Chains A and B, each alone.
Chain A
């Protein structure tokens, strides 16, 4: 999972270096057999994420890879960010360019920093997200589409191009706090876990998701029952070395994440507003817990991944670097070791995608 975090001091080459390093990591991940590359959408988040145009980054990924799936997510489904028409158009183009390798994650952003910067109304983002996830698959699949809604309306038009995957790319939603899994399950969307809650909490979320999705009314043409979660990843033969590097990842990430302003700090909002990933990262000081975290020697990593698997997690998204605190050569070495020592303990992932016609 790539956020493209760029440490200060910024030079002309800073962002280019981070992006090129990320592309090299994606290329290697493709060669090694990793299943997904996800790219987030963030705006104005200094140092933490300079990934404001993930569709362009993923297009570059598509051009340098052959088989890895491309996760565009989450796409912020708020009118002040993007019209649903533009999301449907650009994701369809990306799906074509990648030969049908796109997954689309949806969400609604969580920081005042971003939402106020875009002029969005915090209290309406849940509703606009709901409208977007219902109309985008129709734009993809119907030859012509028209709509009269609360957040946008359009006369009958052909939204083009159409995705390469048929009926359309798999859809997900960011699940950052208890309760969002219900929204995901009810709509037949994949659960894209983006919080670092305890394993017990996440197990409850997954069980709830699996139970509800059995009776869902899918917003798309098919149900994407799929659970993903996220962790930092650093793999090294020596567990102590891995922990030291892992500490750098966590130590670099948390202070950055904590600096952004959340709506409750700025304006009283309805309790339904999720504090999101950044808020979760603020919890607690001190060293990161080991349980569930994919940092360690291969033995530790296999054990923790097995634990996640037994809880019902289908996919673990891995954050490989933060503000370039791990040297690029070490990131690539970690990926290679992971593929060599960890992959053999697991079956290939069941693709979330429908078979292309």
Chain B
């Protein structure tokens, strides 16, 4: 009865990251500058970005998130993510459709331990008093350009960053599975604002034409300490997640 995703898992299998070790220890990322722009997306096309085991939010929505990490176990790096809001069983999260990362060491660790589907690219995140902007380029080609304007301080530090779900392969010849990573964020400071997406190439993020922003939601720019938790739940990417959820011991 319920609406589920309709991502062609077989088509995605070839580019699914291979988990060589499922993340058991959390990573603490310090001094993370995060530009997070959330948008409703066209539902029918958006469903094709989500594995059949997950359900979309109603309305369908996604996030374009650009982060610059000052301190991590593999040194500084920058990451640009395309996320789609999902429900894993009855819990809200984001399915990571695709990502760009500027650090080979971070790309490798994120892929092998958490299943992040990262490709290499250049990322610039700039913050000014009244605005913030991000540009992502692949081999000199701009694939994402975001601007947040009319910055205004947000009350409190309670910004919502739910868990991230990745599609990965468990070992080189292992099965495809979904892995859920809990995210904890503590913002030292955050501003809201209006955003504009002035350039976007979904192909660079593995979304093709399916990620179609349709109605703006919220956007923030802030500085946070983010903990990428140990993978806590896995699920079959094809069966309804509520039937195949497995807690990682």
Q: A: which residues have CB within 8 A of B?
A: 7-9, 44-47, 112-113, 116-117, 254-262, 264-268, 270-271, 281-282, 285, 323
Q: Sorted from nearest, which 5 A-B pairs have the closest CB atoms?
A: A267-B218, A258-B90, A266-B217, A264-B160, A261-B57
Write out the residue numbers on chain A whose beta carbons fall within 8 Å of the beta carbon of B59: 112-113, 116-117, 261
B10 CB within 8 Å of chain A: no
Check A285–B162 contact: CB distance below 8 A.
no
Whole-angstrom CA separation of A188 from B52 in the bound complex: 49
Whether A259 lies near B38 (C-beta < 8 A) is no
The answer to whether A267 and B38 touch across the interface, beta carbons within 8 angstroms, is: yes
Which residue of A is nearest B57, CB measured?
A261
Please determine whether A255 and B92 come into contact, CB atoms closer than 8 angstroms. Answer: no
Q: Which residues of B lie under 8 Å from residue A255 when comparing CB positions?
A: 2, 55, 87, 89-90, 242
| Chain B residues in the interface with A (C-beta under 8 A) | 1-3, 38, 40, 55-59, 61, 85, 87, 89-92, 154-156, 158-160, 162, 190, 192, 215, 217-218, 220, 242, 245
The reply to whether B58 and A260 contact each other, CB–CB distance below 8 Å, is yes
Shortest CB distance B3–A (Å)? 8
Residues of chain A lying within 8 A (CB to CB) of residue B91 = 258, 282
Q: Which residue of A lies closest to B240 (CB)?
A: A255
CB < 8 Å: which of B162, B190, B215 contacts A116? B215
* Neighbouring B residues of A260 by C-beta, 8 Å: 57-58
Q: A261-B61, A261-B85 are in contact. Are A268 and B159 (CB under 8 A)?
A: yes
8 Å CB contact of B55 from A9, A259, A267, A271: A259
CB pair A282–B1 under 8 Å, yes or no, is no
* A266 in contact with B38 given A7-B1, A112-B217, A285-B89 (CB within 8 Å): yes
Knowing A254-B90, A258-B90, the reply to whether A268 touches B2 (Cβ < 8 A) is no
Given contacts A7-B1, A258-B89, A266-B218, 19 further A-B pairs with CB under 8 A are A44-B58, A46-B3, A116-B40, A255-B2, A255-B89, A259-B3, A259-B55, A260-B57, A260-B58, A261-B57, A262-B92, A265-B38, A267-B38, A267-B192, A267-B217, A270-B155, A271-B155, A282-B92, A285-B90
Inter-chain contacts of B159 with A (CB < 8 A): 268
Contact A46–B215 (Cβ < 8 Å): no
Query: Are the C-beta atoms of B55 and A116 separated by less than 8 Å?
Result: no
Task: Return A120 CB to nearest CB of chain B, in Å.
Answer: 14
Query: Which residues from chain A contact B89 at a C-beta distance below 8 Å?
Result: 255, 258, 285
Q: Which residues of A contact B218 (CB under 8 A)?
A: 266-268
Give complex CA distance A113, B59 in Å: 6
Q: Which residue of A lies closest to B89 (CB)?
A: A285
Contact B155 A113 (CB under 8 A): no
